[in-house]
Structure 1
Amino acid sequence: MTKTTSFPDNQNFIQTLFFRLFFCYYILYAFPFPLEYIPFGHYFGMWTYDFWKWLVPIVAENIFHIDKELTLPNGSGDTTFNYIQVFTQLLIAILATTIWTLSSNKRKTHSKLYIYLIVYLRYYLAFYMLSYGSSKLFVNQFSSLSLFDLITPYGDSSPMGLMWNFMEYSDSYTIFSGVSEIIGGLLLMFRRTTKLGALVTFGVMLNVFMMNLSYDIPVKLFSSHLMIIALFILSPHLKSLTNFFILNKPAMPVSIDKYFVKRKLNIAGLIFKTIFILFLLITFTTNQIRRHNINRDIASYPELYGIYTINSFSKNGKEIIPLATDSLHWKKMVVDKYSTAIIKLDDSKEYYKNETDTTSRNLKLTLYRDSLSVYNLKYQKSDSILNLEGTYLQDTLKIELTKKDHTQFRLLKRGFNWINEYPYNR
């Protein structure tokens, strides 16, 4: 059977034009990868960030007539800044494609450039698959349900919070998702398994993209770009895939040629590839193990970690009758890993920075949005009873609380069962 090349040598003008546009756009989108991960390469990242930080507001003001200050990229990848940045990159890519086409003396198919672009995008996609996959494998991206999650009414959850809690509940499903992404990323790194890797990655990213759309998770732009990259990597194989899966025809094998004519260059490429793969695997693994150990270190939890309900609440020596109009009286106190919340009688929450001195048994709670609002309390524990006594502003407080066993929540207690005589849907 004759081997066939997977890269078209007889592209028509439209195909050539599309390739040039795709090439220009995705180089702009992915740059400065992977330069920011080499020694001193972070400067490329800084310069690129500063460039877009300068150009995007100009486009926003002159094309979209947005004169307000744009929110810079943060935990959300779907800010107005991000959308205008993508639009700006597309404009630049169209301009570059136009200049490229007009300055070309004859029609070119760019077969070699096509190969190198796919190689670049393979590693770009593999990098993020391994990054996100390792984060899930070590259960860091979705760590565990917080105490705040357990007491938040179901209807008060945001769509993103609902999905996040869904993933946080099950370590096994999170790990399965991570393994799927890692498998796709590893397969993309080798030419013989590129087709399978792109198929796996496209399936994984399609699911991620749909979850982002369905649960309003602000990574829609990025996940859609990764999904499109997987499709582009599959583009040389569309005919063979169609023959195999749809037309029931033989799928001709694809020739895998060396990148360079000179043997030394191919050896150098192989060495670079090996170093790059080892660097990614070692870096991601060590970083995720470190994060996992920190997140799951029970000893690092605050001493008063738990959910507390109020038994009695006294101000200036007088016990206060709980009324919904009382802005001081507590309903619950939740001491979580990184912050503490006081829940008032109207179910409103105030979040505090927790400073616990276990030697002097002193609890200091400072309101995040108002550093002058401070509780200075002495605490005493006896079994599930917690007594607090101290001051808040000008008032003297004395509070008795009972700690709830959070492991008794149905969600945590139910566990896994192979046999279910009846559906346990609550």
Structure 2
Amino acid sequence: MSAIGTEVLERDREDVVDSSPRWSLPARIGFRFCFAYLLLFCLTFAQILFVFTGVAMRWLPESAIRWQMDVVEPVARWTGEHVFGVDAVIHESGSGDQTIIWVLIFCLLVVAAVVTVTWSVLDRRRAGYGALGGWFVTFLRLCLGGQMLWYGFAKAVPNQMPYPSLTRLLEPYGNLSMTEVLWNQVGASPSYQVLLGIAEVLGGLLLFWPRTATVGAMLSLVSMAQVFVLNMTYDVPVKILSFHLMLIALVVLAPQARRLANVLVLERSSEPATQPSLFRSARANRIAAALQVALGLWTCSGAVYTAGDSWHEYGYGAPKPALYGIWNVTEFTVGGHPLPPLTTEPTRWQRLVFDKFATSYQRMDGAFVPVLADVDTAAGTLTMTAPSTAPDVAPTRVATFTFERPEPDRLTLRGDLGGRPVTLALEEFDLNDLPLRGERFHWIQEVPDLN
């Protein structure tokens, strides 16, 4: 074979796997523990893997989506009861920091520690884990990329932090929890939320292409560090997941630590910070890179599809009710006798609020009472019921009214409230009179608007 042919053949069969020097003992032990723990974490938390189902997730049965928790829940419940003396059960609340999840993390740590000890004894002669490490980092990189796309599009659309509700705009600031303060702070500035989402989406997209994955991991690390700090300081119940996503970003960057230090800290020239190769053949690595990009595009399509649905279902694109707005009660008559607007009057209403997804009336003492409102614009009727306290309990009727709108900003209700005939005259409040809903940006400000 000619020298040129030999050179071409050798270039096509680059041996790029497991060429690293012998690993130190702490590095080998640390890799074994990280491999066991983070692999178990990603396989256990359903949302990490199911983002890759994309649009198909909508048609998956509930049993397919919950299979991880169906497997680990009994173990976590037993551990919670017998080790910690707590009742570790799943609450369908959306919180990611429930007791059962903390117990599950403990179980994963114990299993990972046992695996690390056993692995270290049985594989003590191993010099390093270059090949396995490459596959492991690739797996973590794709898992991190999926999460960045999912959460990023939830902000970029934006849906994750909706604009403060009408009821929230009327409540005293001191009544808000720390989480509500953060949610409303970000939700009040959609452009800021969109920029946060774009940063996360960009980091996620870059992670799916090996050539740009290092930059994507750096951007994801910065984004997740910010999210984790916000979750810790504003008591957002996603502390466990955000910490682990930040940790995964660090592990993905670990193989590039020396190269990054040379460029960013030591100001030395360095070879490109490329991701670990998976195969000996350059062609196989190119095919693997193409498959990773395809997976990223598929995951991106699922995130976009879900974000679009959320936009129309409960986001800015959701339709407003016919009587949307804040209505101040100017007259309140019971049995033909007007009730004065006194804070000690328990029957009289101060306001009636029709929001996108909730209706409530405000008593004279300032408390808001949520109700379910059924508005029939054709018949001109309004029926209010109290929300059910249990699935098998029928809702209790609060009031039944007929309504008229003599003018666009005037509303008259007549009907029955608690078995008594009532008549209400209401006037629509101009939402633009609220500073948060009024003029939102000024190029020139002589005095900061901090009042």
Q: Is the pair's TM-score, using the shorter chain for normalization, greater than 0.5?
A: yes
Give the structure 1 partner of residue 369 of structure 2: 350
SS in 2 for 1:396: strand
Residue in structure 2 matching 1:386, options 408, 411, 414: 411
Taking the aligned partners of 2:275 and 2:237, their CA distance within structure 1 comes to 39
- Report 1:313-352 matches (<5 A): 313-352=332-371
> Is the alpha carbon distance of 1:390 and 1:257 closer, same or farther for their aligned partners in structure 2, counting shifts above 3 Å?
closer
Q: Is 1:93 matched with 2:112?
A: yes
Displacement of 1:256 = 5.8
Structure 1 unmatched runs, 5+: none
Taking the aligned partners of 1:363 and 1:283, their CA distance within structure 2 comes to 39
Q: Is 1:65 matched with 2:85?
A: yes
Taking the aligned partners of 2:161 and 2:175, their CA distance within structure 1 comes to 20
Displacement of 1:218 = 0.8
Taking the aligned partners of 2:143 and 2:62, their CA distance within structure 1 comes to 17
Displacement of 1:73 = 5.5
- Report 1:8-407 matches (<5 A): 8-31=20-43, 33-34=48-49, 37-38=52-53, 45-66=65-86, 68=87, 70-72=89-91, 74-104=93-123, 106-254=125-273, 258-261=277-280, 265-266=284-285, 269-294=288-313, 295-297=315-317, 300-369=319-388, 371-383=395-407, 384-407=409-432
Displacement of 1:80 = 1.1
Aligned residues with identical type, % of pairs? 26
Displacement of 1:100 = 1.7
Q: Greater CA deviation, 414-423 or 316-325?
A: 316-325
> Is the alpha carbon distance of 1:131 and 1:89 closer, same or farther for their aligned partners in structure 2, counting shifts above 3 Å?
same
Aligned partners of 2:415 and 2:423 also within 8 Å: yes
Aligned partners of 1:198 and 1:230 also within 8 Å: yes
Question: Deviation per CA, 1:87-114, whole angstroms, max 9, x where unpaired?
Answer: 1111111112222222225234111111
Displacement of 1:277 = 2.1
> Is the alpha carbon distance of 1:173 and 1:210 closer, same or farther for their aligned partners in structure 2, counting shifts above 3 Å?
same
**Aligned residue-pair number:** 422
Aligned partners of 2:79 and 2:103 also within 8 Å: yes
Taking the aligned partners of 1:17 and 1:73, their CA distance within structure 2 comes to 38
Taking the aligned partners of 2:161 and 2:76, their CA distance within structure 1 comes to 32
Question: Deviation per CA, 1:264-289, whole angstroms, max 9, x where unpaired?
Answer: 75465345324312212222223322
SS in 1 for 2:365: coil
Aligned partners of 2:162 and 2:184 also within 8 Å: no
Question: Deviation per CA, 1:7-30, whole angstroms, max 9, x where unpaired?
Answer: 854211221111111111111111
Q: Greater CA deviation, 56-65 or 135-144?
A: 135-144
Taking the aligned partners of 1:12 and 1:355, their CA distance within structure 2 comes to 69
> Is the alpha carbon distance of 1:74 and 1:85 closer, same or farther for their aligned partners in structure 2, counting shifts above 3 Å?
farther
Taking the aligned partners of 2:128 and 2:92, their CA distance within structure 1 comes to 37
Taking the aligned partners of 1:7 and 1:246, their CA distance within structure 2 comes to 26
Taking the aligned partners of 1:292 and 1:255, their CA distance within structure 2 comes to 38
> Is the alpha carbon distance of 1:90 and 1:8 closer, same or farther for their aligned partners in structure 2, counting shifts above 3 Å?
farther
Question: Deviation per CA, 1:232-285, whole angstroms, max 9, x where unpaired?
Answer: 111111112222222233333356664223677546534532431221222222
Displacement of 1:145 = 2.4
Give the structure 1 partner of residue 13 of structure 2: none
Taking the aligned partners of 1:421 and 1:6, their CA distance within structure 2 comes to 64
Structure 2 unmatched runs, 5+: 1-15, 390-394
Displacement of 1:60 = 0.6
Aligned partners of 1:375 and 1:393 also within 8 Å: yes
Amino acid at match of 1:14: P
Taking the aligned partners of 1:55 and 1:69, their CA distance within structure 2 comes to 10
Question: Deviation per CA, 1:392-419, whole angstroms, max 9, x where unpaired?
Answer: 2321111111110112211111311111
Displacement of 1:201 = 0.9
Q: Greater CA deviation, 190-199 or 244-253?
A: 244-253
Aligned partners of 2:332 and 2:349 also within 8 Å: yes
SS in 2 for 1:310: strand
Displacement of 1:70 = 2.9
> Is the alpha carbon distance of 1:250 and 1:266 closer, same or farther for their aligned partners in structure 2, counting shifts above 3 Å?
closer
Taking the aligned partners of 1:35 and 1:178, their CA distance within structure 2 comes to 20
Taking the aligned partners of 1:20 and 1:151, their CA distance within structure 2 comes to 54
Aligned partners of 2:388 and 2:396 also within 8 Å: no
Amino acid at match of 2:121: L
Aligned partners of 1:387 and 1:400 also within 8 Å: yes
> Is the alpha carbon distance of 1:307 and 1:254 closer, same or farther for their aligned partners in structure 2, counting shifts above 3 Å?
closer
Taking the aligned partners of 1:293 and 1:110, their CA distance within structure 2 comes to 48
Higher relative contact order (CA 8 A, sep 6+): 2
Amino acid at match of 1:10: R
Displacement of 1:69 = 5.5
Cα RMSD (Å): 2.5
Displacement of 1:55 = 0.9
Displacement of 1:124 = 0.6
> Is the alpha carbon distance of 1:382 and 1:191 closer, same or farther for their aligned partners in structure 2, counting shifts above 3 Å?
same
Give the structure 1 partner of residue 392 of structure 2: none
